[in-house]
Amino acid sequence: MHTEAKPDNPDILEVERVKKTYRDERGLFRTSGETLTALNGVSLNIGRGEIFGLVGASGSGKTTLGRLVLHLESMDAGSIRFHGTEIHSLKGAALKAFRRRVQMIPQDPYQSLNPYMSVYDTVAEPLIIHHDAAKEKRSQLVEDAIRAAGLTPAKAYFNRYPHQLSGGQRQRAAIARAMVLSPDFVIADEPTSMLDASISFTIFKLLAEIRKQRGVTFLFITHDLAAARFLCDRIAVIYHGEIVESGPAESIIRHPQSDYTRALIDAQPRFSFMKQPHFREQT
Ligand SMILES: Nc1ncnc2c1ncn2[C@@H]1O[C@H](COP(=O)(O)OP(=O)(O)OP(=O)(O)O)[C@@H](O)[C@H]1O
Ligand SMILES: [Mg+2]
């Protein structure tokens, strides 16, 4: 999988010295305005078609960075450029186009899917919101997205509801929803943390397949170095809002330079089945 690393490709995303602080509002009467630094000058570049892993422990700032890249929150300083354009300056039609091109795969397929919506309606909704396709074309796009997410035969899933799906199938439905607009950049924030290891593995294979078939670029957020090693071309390790090291996934995990990365490696439960060479060759 790593042979497809494309660090030489033009960068699709450039994050430069991004800072984000939150007001610490814990404590009912605390009004002193203490701030918490979630990101303290983060820089990273992601090449087109790459799967880039952002790896760090809980609270290190991973989701904050994902939310800033999705333009869901404002930053205090720095710059985030998508295809060379500063995203926080986008407005109107350009902002709408950005929201189409950048999608997110949610963490928890149990929470993220509307229990009252069928798989068909769930996947069709982004097309309707974005007025993306004529009605006749819509059903074909929905069917293609469901099939590409590995729910086959796709039509058999059209009228199913979330409670009729397993966790893995739910996450595939969420992936179909994210992919139906043909985004070129997708953020997957801990997309398998609610699934067991073997199902997680099938979802990773699906993401790799989507990258291969559609050339989608991924920012894959995880606390799990084994998963990052399996899936990612390059990774950045984040600790307390700062990138401590970044580079090709394999070399960082084999030869970590930072004490923090070493501690993270030592703390990992081993996904031993993923490390077996024959398992990786199959993918
Ligand atoms: N809306 C918010 N208001 C205040 N503090 C926040 C907010 N969002 C995040 N934080 C704080 O910013 C820091 C980084 O949080 P973030 O959610 O980005 O971490 P994370 O790496 O995604 O963690 P996890 O692995 O648990 O998801 C944490 O200290 C968190 O408490
Ligand atoms: Mg998070």
Q: What is the pLDDT of residues 153-184, one digit of tens each?
A: 999 999 999 999 999 999 999 999 999 999 99
234-239 vs 217-222, strand pairing mode: unpaired
Q: How far apart are CA 14 and CA 195, in angstroms?
A: 31
Rounded to the nearest whole angstrom, what is the distance from the C-alpha of residue 65 to the centroid of ligand 1?
10
**What was the pLDDT predicted at 83?**
95
Q: How far apart are CA 229 and CA 1, in angstroms?
A: 10
Number of C-beta neighbours around residue 79 at 10 A:
15
Instruction: Supply the mean pLDDT for the chain.
Output: 89
What kind and span of H or E run contains 259?
A: helix 259-267
Using a pLDDT cut of 90, give the percent of the chain over it: 75
Pocket of ligand 1, beta carbon within 6 A? 22, 36, 38, 56, 58-64, 223
Give the domain ranges of the chain: 2-111+185-281
Whether pLDDT at 92 is above 90: yes
Which alpha helices (H) appear in 104-258, and where do they start and end? 109-112, 119-129, 135-148, 167-179, 197-214, 225-231, 249-254
Rounded to the nearest whole angstrom, what is the distance from the C-alpha of residue 28 to the centroid of ligand 2?
25
| Secondary structure (DSSP) of 85-105 | EEGGG--HHHHHHHHHHEEEE
**What was the pLDDT predicted at 282?**
41
Ligand 1 closest atom vs CA 61: 18
pTM: 0.90
Paired with 20 in beta bridges are 39
Tell me the C-alpha to C-alpha distance, in Å, between residue 65 and each of 15, 40, 62, 68, 78.
9, 11, 5, 5, 12
**What was the pLDDT predicted at 25?**
66
Rounded to the nearest whole angstrom, what is the distance from the C-alpha of residue 159 to the centroid of ligand 2?
32
For ligand 1, atom 8, the nearest C-alpha belongs to 64
Backbone torsions φ then ψ of 221, nearest 5 degrees? -100, 130
pLDDT in tens, 234-283: 999 999 999 999 999 999 999 999 999 998 888 776 544 444 444 444 44
Q: Which ligand is nearest to the CA of 65?
A: 1
**What was the pLDDT predicted at 173?**
97
For ligand 1, atom 29, the nearest C-alpha belongs to 59
**What was the pLDDT predicted at 135?**
78
**What was the pLDDT predicted at 108?**
86
Amino acid at 190: E
CATH number, span 2-111+185-281: 3.40.50.300
Ligand 1 closest atom vs CA 56: 21
Paired with 22 in beta bridges are 36
**Interval 113-138 mean pLDDT:** 90
Ligand 1 closest atom vs CA 64: 18
For ligand 1, atom 22, the nearest C-alpha belongs to 63
Rounded to the nearest whole angstrom, what is the distance from the C-alpha of residue 79 to the centroid of ligand 1?
20
Rounded to the nearest whole angstrom, what is the distance from the C-alpha of residue 198 to the centroid of ligand 2?
22
